[in-house]
Structure 1
Amino acid sequence: MADPTGEVILGLDTSTEHAAICIVSGDSLLGERWVEPVAGGRPRHGSAMLTELEQLVAVAGGWPQIDLIAVGVGPGSFTGLRIGIATARALAQSTGIPIAAVGSLDALAATIATRPEATERELAPIIDARRGEGFFSLWSGGSELLDPVVAGPEELVAALAARPSPPLAGGSGALRFQAQLEAAGIAVLDPGAAEHRPSAAAICRLGQARGDGPESIEPIYLRRPDAELWRERDQGRREARGSSGG
């Protein structure tokens, strides 16, 4: 049941293959669900996520009870971010509910911070960016020390190893580069820890007291989408074939 004294927030994050949805009311978590990928790792950010979302909204008493929609805006999966942001925008436009953008690395850092071993340590949230790279930032005491960056493992490890005290790393990227991180003395959360995924509850709490128009919500990409690079590559090949044929 919603807390009559607290703001009711619907949060969702689709920056990774694991879509996260939750509803909080004040300090109470009304429900949190994960939409896991199908076999082979293909995400289910479409109809399956909408079904779970509607069920959670019903738990809160329906759309009239929702005060704010908070959405993770990346960095992360290009396709996932587009789907999540488009969904949040459409819901905000159709219901008139305010919407808030939350960085997915911010949410991951807040999620890692709930671990006992994270106390009084700098935190390095890292999301697997594919192409042998990671999206990462650096946090301490709830404050961001480093803006989100995309980098390969060598640059990423060098940046974190240069800190006065080794940070605690977590996230899909930390798992991807675990061997390199630990070789440099950087601790990584246990591979089985749930905190390797940005929680929707963190999205809700970070989005609290914010409110933007749907048109102002934009994804944080940090680099160009794979699809653009593929199109350029294919166009270059066609042009090369055309030149050789002429």
Structure 2
Amino acid sequence: MAIIIQIETATQVCSAAISENGKTIALKEEKASNIHAGSLTLFIKEVMDTAGLQFADIDAVAVSKGPGSYTGLRIGVSTAKGLCFALDKPLIAIDTLQMMAAGFMIDQPYYSGMVCPMIDARRMEVFTGLYDKDLKEVTPVAAQIIDEHSFAEVLASNNVSFIGDGAEKCKAVLQHEHASFSDVNFNSATNMSKLSYEAFAAAKFVDVAYFEPFYLKDFVLTTPKKR
């Protein structure tokens, strides 16, 4: 038996869930800018209360590790680490893009094509990867600038569903008969439930002290030009 707190903060969605043996039993989330720092711990408390659990009942903490928003990931991982230290519980790190693909397959269980999660990385750049229907990685996670030639080779012989906030802005340039787009939010902690349970059962934990989010790109602080 495994009861796991799950945290997803890689995008503008702030999401917390509780799962039991791979099934979500409580979920609280909201999509808004700059709410993670003030809302995440409140959301965790709310899902604990909804599930009727005490923190002593928790077996592990799972966090969406990225790629994604630098600030959002930092808040999510810091909160997850704090819980693990306080409760003396293991930490599970879930790939954000794989989690999104898992959510799509839950929503579309009979889909047989490929899934391409995309997280907005400003302008026409996205954090993305390609997964088959069994959630196996077809192409590695990368930061890509999207144009009309992107994914042309894959789309020539495969149906591909593009999902996530990055896919929304790329829809106009990825016009192809084999391309489809979903506006469903898959950046939700509920989509971590199966993956986090599998990781728990296999004892795939990360070092609480040394684990860092998968930012993919270095955070660059720029100074505004003087007027």
Give the TM-score, by structure 2 length: 0.88
1:117-168 CA-to-partner distances (Å, cap 9, x unmatched) read 76111110111111431010000122111111101112xx634221121311
1:173: how far off? 0.5
- Partners of 2:11 and 2:70 in 1: how far apart? 9
Runs (4+) of structure 1 exceeding 3 A deviation are none
Alpha carbons 1:76, 1:135 under 8 Å: kept: yes
Deviates more, 1:200-209 or 1:66-75: 200-209
- SS of equivalent to 1:114: helix
Deviates more, 1:137-146 or 1:213-222: 213-222
Residue 216 of structure 2: aligned partner? 222
Q: Which amino acid aligns with 1:14?
A: T
- Pairwise CA RMSD: 2.0
1:38-65 CA-to-partner distances (Å, cap 9, x unmatched) read xxxx221012121111121232411011
Residue 122 of structure 1: aligned partner? 114
Residue 173 of structure 2: aligned partner? 180
Report percent identity of matched pairs.
23
Alpha carbons 2:14, 2:39 under 8 Å: kept: no
Q: Which amino acid aligns with 1:127?
A: I
Q: Aligned match of 1:79 in 71, 76, 80?
A: 71
Which structure would you say has the larger Rg?
1
* Matched residues, number: 217
Q: Which has more helix, going by share of residues? A: 1
Matched, 1:112 2:104: yes
1:70-129 CA-to-partner distances (Å, cap 9, x unmatched) read 001111011101111111111111111111111111111111112337611111011111
Residue 195 of structure 2: aligned partner? 206
Alpha carbons 2:68, 2:127 under 8 Å: kept: yes
Q: Aligned match of 2:163 in 162, 170, 177?
A: 170
Change (3 A) 1:145 1:224: same
Unaligned runs of 5+ in 2: none
- Partners of 1:171 and 1:103 in 2: how far apart? 14
Unaligned runs of 5+ in 1: 1-5, 239-246
Alpha carbons 1:102, 1:206 under 8 Å: kept: yes
- Partners of 2:143 and 2:123 in 1: how far apart? 11
Give the TM-score, by structure 1 length: 0.81
